[in-house]
Protein backbone atom coordinates (compact mmCIF):
# COMPACT_ATOMS: atom_id res chain seq x y z
CA UNK A 1 0.00 0.00 0.00
CA UNK A 2 1.41 3.37 -1.00
CA UNK A 3 1.89 5.89 1.75
CA UNK A 4 -0.40 8.93 1.75
CA UNK A 5 1.27 11.96 0.14
CA UNK A 6 1.84 13.57 3.55
CA UNK A 7 4.00 10.57 4.50
CA UNK A 8 6.39 10.64 1.56
CA UNK A 9 8.72 13.30 2.87
CA UNK A 10 11.36 10.85 4.11
CA UNK A 11 12.27 7.29 3.24
CA UNK A 12 12.60 4.32 5.58
CA UNK A 13 13.10 4.37 8.52
CA UNK A 14 11.88 7.94 8.88
CA UNK A 15 8.81 7.48 6.70
CA UNK A 16 6.52 8.11 9.69
CA UNK A 17 8.02 11.59 10.21
CA UNK A 18 6.60 14.78 8.74
CA UNK A 19 7.24 17.89 10.84
CA UNK A 20 10.03 16.53 13.12
CA UNK A 21 7.96 17.80 16.06
CA UNK A 22 7.24 14.53 17.94
CA UNK A 23 3.92 15.68 19.39
CA UNK A 24 2.57 16.61 15.96
CA UNK A 25 4.05 13.59 14.21
CA UNK A 26 2.72 11.18 16.84
CA UNK A 27 -0.75 12.62 16.31
CA UNK A 28 -0.46 12.37 12.52
CA UNK A 29 0.90 8.85 12.82
CA UNK A 30 -2.00 7.77 14.99
CA UNK A 31 -4.61 9.24 12.66
CA UNK A 32 -3.03 7.81 9.53
CA UNK A 33 -2.47 4.41 11.12
CA UNK A 34 -6.14 4.27 12.10
CA UNK A 35 -7.28 5.36 8.64
CA UNK A 36 -4.99 3.07 6.64
CA UNK A 37 -4.29 0.24 9.12
CA UNK A 38 -0.74 0.24 7.83
CA UNK A 39 1.52 0.78 10.84
CA UNK A 40 3.76 -2.02 12.12
CA UNK A 41 3.39 -2.14 15.90
CA UNK A 42 6.36 -2.47 18.23
CA UNK A 43 5.48 -5.33 20.58
CA UNK A 44 6.58 -3.96 23.95
CA UNK A 45 3.41 -4.32 26.04
CA UNK A 46 2.81 -8.03 25.51
CA UNK A 47 3.95 -9.33 28.91
CA UNK A 48 3.29 -6.70 31.55
CA UNK A 49 4.69 -8.94 34.28
CA UNK A 50 8.22 -8.42 32.97
CA UNK A 51 10.37 -5.32 32.69
CA UNK A 52 11.43 -4.29 29.20
CA UNK A 53 14.61 -3.03 27.62
CA UNK A 54 13.92 -1.76 24.11
CA UNK A 55 16.71 -1.35 21.55
CA UNK A 56 15.71 1.34 19.07
CA UNK A 57 18.19 2.96 16.73
CA UNK A 58 18.44 4.00 13.11
CA UNK A 59 19.15 0.88 10.99
CA UNK A 60 22.75 -0.29 10.66
CA UNK A 61 23.83 1.28 13.93
CA UNK A 62 24.60 -1.86 15.93
CA UNK A 63 21.03 -2.76 16.81
CA UNK A 64 21.43 -6.47 16.01
CA UNK A 65 24.61 -7.08 18.01
CA UNK A 66 23.44 -4.98 20.97
CA UNK A 67 20.16 -6.88 21.08
CA UNK A 68 22.00 -10.20 21.06
CA UNK A 69 24.33 -9.06 23.84
CA UNK A 70 21.50 -7.75 26.02
CA UNK A 71 19.62 -11.03 25.61
CA UNK A 72 22.66 -12.77 27.06
CA UNK A 73 23.13 -10.49 30.05
CA UNK A 74 19.65 -9.34 31.07
CA UNK A 75 18.15 -10.69 34.26
CA UNK A 76 15.66 -13.52 33.80
CA UNK A 77 12.75 -11.23 34.66
CA UNK A 78 13.59 -8.85 31.81
CA UNK A 79 12.22 -8.92 28.28
CA UNK A 80 14.53 -7.64 25.53
CA UNK A 81 12.47 -5.96 22.82
CA UNK A 82 14.04 -5.87 19.37
CA UNK A 83 13.13 -2.49 17.88
CA UNK A 84 14.22 -3.53 14.40
CA UNK A 85 10.58 -4.30 13.60
CA UNK A 86 10.04 -0.54 13.22
CA UNK A 87 13.33 1.34 13.81
CA UNK A 88 10.98 4.26 14.50
CA UNK A 89 12.08 7.46 16.21
CA UNK A 90 8.42 7.95 17.14
CA UNK A 91 8.54 4.62 18.99
CA UNK A 92 11.48 6.02 20.96
CA UNK A 93 9.11 8.75 22.14
CA UNK A 94 6.18 6.40 22.77
CA UNK A 95 8.18 4.04 24.94
CA UNK A 96 10.26 6.71 26.69
CA UNK A 97 7.13 8.62 27.65
CA UNK A 98 5.80 5.41 29.17
CA UNK A 99 8.91 5.16 31.33
CA UNK A 100 10.21 2.04 29.57
CA UNK A 101 13.99 1.63 29.32
CA UNK A 102 15.07 2.53 25.78
CA UNK A 103 18.63 2.09 24.52
CA UNK A 104 19.56 4.01 21.36
CA UNK A 105 22.62 2.79 19.44
CA UNK A 106 24.20 5.75 17.64
CA UNK A 107 26.53 5.77 14.64
CA UNK A 108 27.93 8.62 12.47
CA UNK A 109 26.11 9.40 9.22
CA UNK A 110 28.58 8.27 6.56
CA UNK A 111 29.11 4.86 8.17
CA UNK A 112 25.38 4.39 8.73
CA UNK A 113 24.13 5.62 5.38
CA UNK A 114 26.77 3.72 3.41
CA UNK A 115 25.70 0.53 5.15
CA UNK A 116 22.06 1.33 4.39
CA UNK A 117 22.92 1.85 0.72
CA UNK A 118 24.47 -1.61 0.63
CA UNK A 119 21.50 -3.07 2.48
CA UNK A 120 19.17 -1.82 -0.24
CA UNK A 121 21.58 -2.75 -3.06
CA UNK A 122 21.59 0.94 -4.01
CA UNK A 123 25.24 1.59 -3.21
CA UNK A 124 25.82 3.29 -6.57
CA UNK A 125 22.67 5.46 -6.66
CA UNK A 126 23.25 9.10 -5.69
CA UNK A 127 19.52 9.68 -5.35
CA UNK A 128 19.36 6.93 -2.73
CA UNK A 129 22.38 8.42 -0.96
CA UNK A 130 20.52 11.72 -0.67
CA UNK A 131 17.40 9.96 0.59
CA UNK A 132 19.41 8.17 3.28
CA UNK A 133 21.10 11.36 4.47
CA UNK A 134 17.74 13.14 4.70
CA UNK A 135 16.14 10.22 6.55
CA UNK A 136 19.13 9.99 8.90
CA UNK A 137 18.92 13.69 9.78
CA UNK A 138 15.17 13.51 10.37
CA UNK A 139 15.56 10.48 12.63
CA UNK A 140 18.26 12.02 14.82
CA UNK A 141 16.53 15.41 15.07
CA UNK A 142 13.41 13.61 16.28
CA UNK A 143 15.17 11.15 18.57
CA UNK A 144 17.19 13.91 20.25
CA UNK A 145 13.97 15.36 21.62
CA UNK A 146 13.39 12.11 23.57
CA UNK A 147 16.63 12.52 25.53
CA UNK A 148 14.79 14.59 28.14
CA UNK A 149 13.36 11.32 29.48
CA UNK A 150 15.28 9.52 32.22
CA UNK A 151 14.36 6.17 30.68
CA UNK A 152 16.59 6.73 27.62
CA UNK A 153 20.23 5.69 27.29
CA UNK A 154 22.60 6.09 24.33
CA UNK A 155 25.55 3.91 23.34
CA UNK A 156 27.82 4.47 20.36
CA UNK A 157 28.46 1.88 17.68
CA UNK A 158 32.11 1.71 18.70
CA UNK A 159 31.18 0.89 22.28
CA UNK A 160 28.72 -1.78 21.13
CA UNK A 161 31.35 -3.72 19.20
CA UNK A 162 34.22 -3.15 21.65
CA UNK A 163 32.75 -2.84 25.15
CA UNK A 164 28.96 -3.21 25.23
CA UNK A 165 29.11 -3.71 29.00
CA UNK A 166 29.33 0.07 29.44
CA UNK A 167 25.55 0.19 28.98
CA UNK A 168 25.21 -1.80 32.21
CA UNK A 169 26.11 1.36 34.14
CA UNK A 170 23.39 3.43 32.45
CA UNK A 171 20.65 4.34 34.92
CA UNK A 172 17.63 3.06 32.95
CA UNK A 173 19.03 -0.45 32.53
CA UNK A 174 21.54 -0.91 35.37
CA UNK A 175 19.10 -2.81 37.59
CA UNK A 176 17.93 -4.95 34.67
CA UNK A 177 21.33 -6.40 33.74
CA UNK A 178 23.26 -9.09 35.61
CA UNK A 179 26.74 -7.54 36.02
CA UNK A 180 28.46 -10.89 36.56
CA UNK A 181 27.18 -12.25 33.27
CA UNK A 182 27.86 -8.96 31.51
CA UNK A 183 31.45 -9.06 32.69
CA UNK A 184 32.05 -12.54 31.35
CA UNK A 185 30.39 -12.76 27.92
CA UNK A 186 33.03 -13.28 25.23
CA UNK A 187 32.30 -10.94 22.32
CA UNK A 188 34.04 -13.06 19.66
CA UNK A 189 32.03 -16.10 20.69
CA UNK A 190 28.82 -14.06 20.72
CA UNK A 191 29.57 -12.79 17.20
CA UNK A 192 30.13 -16.34 15.99
CA UNK A 193 26.89 -17.52 17.57
CA UNK A 194 25.02 -14.59 16.10
CA UNK A 195 26.35 -15.25 12.61
CA UNK A 196 25.21 -18.86 12.92
CA UNK A 197 21.75 -17.85 14.11
CA UNK A 198 21.40 -15.44 11.18
CA UNK A 199 22.57 -17.93 8.56
CA UNK A 200 19.07 -18.87 7.39
CA UNK A 201 17.37 -15.52 8.03
CA UNK A 202 16.27 -13.71 4.84
CA UNK A 203 17.92 -10.29 4.65
CA UNK A 204 20.73 -11.46 6.91
CA UNK A 205 22.35 -14.83 6.23
CA UNK A 206 20.34 -15.56 3.10
CA UNK A 207 19.47 -13.47 0.05
CA UNK A 208 16.26 -11.45 -0.02
CA UNK A 209 14.40 -9.85 -2.93
CA UNK A 210 17.37 -10.39 -5.20
CA UNK A 211 19.87 -8.72 -2.85
CA UNK A 212 22.87 -10.78 -1.79
CA UNK A 213 23.10 -11.64 1.89
CA UNK A 214 26.69 -10.39 2.09
CA UNK A 215 25.39 -6.86 1.44
CA UNK A 216 22.71 -7.15 4.09
CA UNK A 217 24.05 -9.13 7.02
CA UNK A 218 24.36 -7.05 10.19
CA UNK A 219 27.90 -8.22 10.90
CA UNK A 220 31.33 -7.34 9.45
CA UNK A 221 31.73 -8.68 5.91
CA UNK A 222 35.01 -8.20 4.07
CA UNK A 223 33.55 -9.13 0.69
CA UNK A 224 31.50 -5.91 0.47
CA UNK A 225 34.47 -3.54 0.72
CA UNK A 226 34.18 -2.48 -2.95
CA UNK A 227 30.51 -1.62 -2.68
CA UNK A 228 31.08 0.20 0.59
CA UNK A 229 33.80 2.35 -0.99
CA UNK A 230 31.45 3.30 -3.85
CA UNK A 231 28.70 4.28 -1.42
CA UNK A 232 31.05 6.38 0.68
CA UNK A 233 32.31 8.19 -2.39
CA UNK A 234 28.76 9.15 -3.33
CA UNK A 235 27.94 10.34 0.18
CA UNK A 236 30.77 12.90 0.08
CA UNK A 237 29.97 14.03 -3.46
CA UNK A 238 29.83 17.82 -3.77
CA UNK A 239 26.19 17.65 -4.86
CA UNK A 240 25.26 16.17 -1.46
CA UNK A 241 27.43 18.47 0.66
CA UNK A 242 24.47 20.30 2.19
CA UNK A 243 22.64 17.08 3.04
CA UNK A 244 25.77 15.53 4.57
CA UNK A 245 26.37 18.67 6.63
CA UNK A 246 22.78 18.56 7.89
CA UNK A 247 23.16 14.90 8.85
CA UNK A 248 26.45 15.53 10.63
CA UNK A 249 24.96 18.49 12.54
CA UNK A 250 22.02 16.34 13.61
CA UNK A 251 24.34 13.60 14.87
CA UNK A 252 26.61 16.08 16.63
CA UNK A 253 23.67 17.79 18.34
CA UNK A 254 22.22 14.42 19.36
CA UNK A 255 25.50 13.25 20.89
CA UNK A 256 26.09 16.58 22.66
CA UNK A 257 22.61 16.38 24.17
CA UNK A 258 23.13 12.76 25.20
CA UNK A 259 26.37 13.67 26.95
CA UNK A 260 25.03 16.86 28.50
CA UNK A 261 21.93 15.18 29.87
CA UNK A 262 23.81 12.18 31.22
CA UNK A 263 22.29 9.72 28.74
CA UNK A 264 25.52 8.60 27.07
CA UNK A 265 27.17 5.37 28.19
CA UNK A 266 30.86 6.09 28.66
CA UNK A 267 33.88 3.83 28.70
CA UNK A 268 34.49 1.68 31.74
CA UNK A 269 36.29 -1.57 32.49
CA UNK A 270 34.47 -4.80 33.21
CA UNK A 271 35.88 -4.81 36.74
CA UNK A 272 34.62 -1.29 37.36
CA UNK A 273 31.19 -2.41 36.23
CA UNK A 274 31.12 -5.16 38.84
CA UNK A 275 31.80 -2.67 41.65
CA UNK A 276 29.08 -0.19 40.68
For residue range 79-107, list pLDDT tens digits in order: 999 999 999 999 999 999 999 999 999 99
Give the torsion sign (CA, 90, 93, 99, 105).
positive
pLDDT for 3 equals 55
3-state helix, strand, coil in the chain (%, to 5): 55, 10, 35
Residues of the chain with pLDDT under 50: 1
Q: Going by C-beta distance under 8 Å and a sequence separation of 6 or more, which residues neighbour residue 27?
A: none
Rounded-to-integer distance, Cα 203 and Cα 120, Å: 10
Per-residue pLDDT reduced to its tens digit, 150-162? 999 999 999 999 9
pLDDT for 266 equals 87
Q: Going by C-beta distance under 8 Å and a sequence separation of 6 or more, which residues neighbour residue 125?
A: 117, 234
pLDDT for 16 equals 94
Q: Going by C-beta distance under 8 Å and a sequence separation of 6 or more, which residues neighbour residue 148?
A: 261
> Which among 141, 37, 20, 146 is positioned nearest to 95, based on CA atoms?
146
pLDDT for 50 equals 85
3-state secondary structure of 264: strand
Rounded-to-integer distance, Cα 258 and Cα 153, Å: 8
pLDDT for 267 equals 67
Give the torsion sign (CA, 186, 192, 198, 200).
negative
Backbone phi and psi for residue 134, each to the nearest 5 degrees, phi listed first: -65, -45
pLDDT for 1 equals 44
Backbone phi and psi for residue 81, each to the nearest 5 degrees, phi listed first: -100, 120
Would you say 117 and 132 are in contact if contact means Cβ atoms under 8 Å apart?
yes
List 224's β-bridge partners, or say none: none
Would you say 177 and 55 are in contact if contact means Cβ atoms under 8 Å apart?
no
- What is the pTM (predicted TM-score) of this model? 0.93
pLDDT for 238 equals 98
Amino acid sequence: MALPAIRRRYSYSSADLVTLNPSIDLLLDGVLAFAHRSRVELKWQVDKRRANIIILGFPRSGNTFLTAWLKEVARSSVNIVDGRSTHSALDVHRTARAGVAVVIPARPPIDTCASMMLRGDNFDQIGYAEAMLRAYRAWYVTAEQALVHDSVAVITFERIIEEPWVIAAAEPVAHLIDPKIASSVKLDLLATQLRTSLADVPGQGSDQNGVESRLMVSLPEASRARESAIARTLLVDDSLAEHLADAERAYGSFMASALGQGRLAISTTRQDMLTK
